Amino acid sequence: GAVVSQHPSRVICKSGTSVKIECRSLDFQATTMFWYRQFPKQSLMLMATSNEGSKATYEQGVEKDKFLINHASLTLSTLTVTSAHPEDSSFYICSAGDGAALLNTEAFFGQGTRLTVV
Amino acid sequence: AQSVSQHNHHVILSEAASLELGCNYSYGGTVNLFWYVQYPGQHLQLLLKYFSGDPLVKGIKGFEAEFIKSKFSFNLRKPSVQWSDTAEYFCAVKRGDYKLSFGAGTTVTVRA
């Protein structure tokens, strides 16, 4: 299957600072990427849909000013957690597919980023 | 609200036992159905998927799943598990708006 690379895999930051997470599609072009958040022992919750060259679409309850998403190219989307607080500590996962925004296609997932805010 | 329900939070079984994990969804339109597995410290990996056609789907590593439209279910099965099947299993549904909704996950622990 296609490869999606996420970086960093683990990051610890101080409260009040910002953290950027990258999601790259390595062997295909992804017009759409998705960002998820996973709490311990819970499901993956979709945060936003990232569209190349346009603004991201955020799910209800997700603060767009808190979680900045940029999808500047067909192979890279970034999620920036701004002014991070301990409650932002979580596991963040991206997914992409060359037709991920269509039915009858599958998405491929990055390895996730464990963010710890201290 | 539309949702994906996985019946078991944690399943513990012995090697060679049979496994069945339940998944129900509440969306009424056309859907794609997936089972993903997440081994400790690794990516989510696709086990199998259903788009259309034969409702009995075979995936990797001996897993299969059956789509029962009338029951809105997509249960995962494996006749004989191995220790290496210890992982977290997620059922997911792609809806007509192309978004993937995940179940809460089931932790499967296989004892040698």
pLDDT digits (tens, 9 = 90+) for B40-53: 878 789 999 999 99
- Give percent of chain A above pLDDT 70: 93
B35 and A CB contact within 8 Å: no
Higher pLDDT, A32 or A101: A32
Is the minimum CB–CB distance between B70 and chain A shorter than 8 Å?
Answer: no
Residue B41: its pLDDT value, please?
Answer: 78
**Residue A25: beta bridge partners?**
A4
Tell me if A53 sits within 8 A of A66, measured CB to CB. no
What's the mean pLDDT in B12-26?
97
Q: How far apart are CA A69 and CA B83, in angstroms?
A: 40
Residue A27 is predicted with a pLDDT of 84
| Per-residue pLDDT reduced to its tens digit, A19-50 | 999 999 998 888 889 999 988 777 889 999 98
Specify the higher pLDDT residue, A117 or A102.
A117
Least Cα separation, residue A19 to chain B (angstroms): 21
Average pLDDT, chain B: 92
B32/A93 touch (CB, cutoff 8 Å), yes or no: no
CA dist B98 and A103 (Å) reads 6
More confident residue, B109 or B43: B109
Q: How far is A58 from chain B (nearest CA, A)?
A: 12
Tokens of A88: 């932002």
pLDDT for A34 equals 92
Q: Is the peptide bond before A8 cis (omega within 30 degrees of 0)?
A: yes
Residue B95 pLDDT grade (very low, low, confident, very high; cuts 50, 70, 90): confident
Angstrom distances, CA of residue A58 to CA of A35, B25, B88 = 10, 23, 27
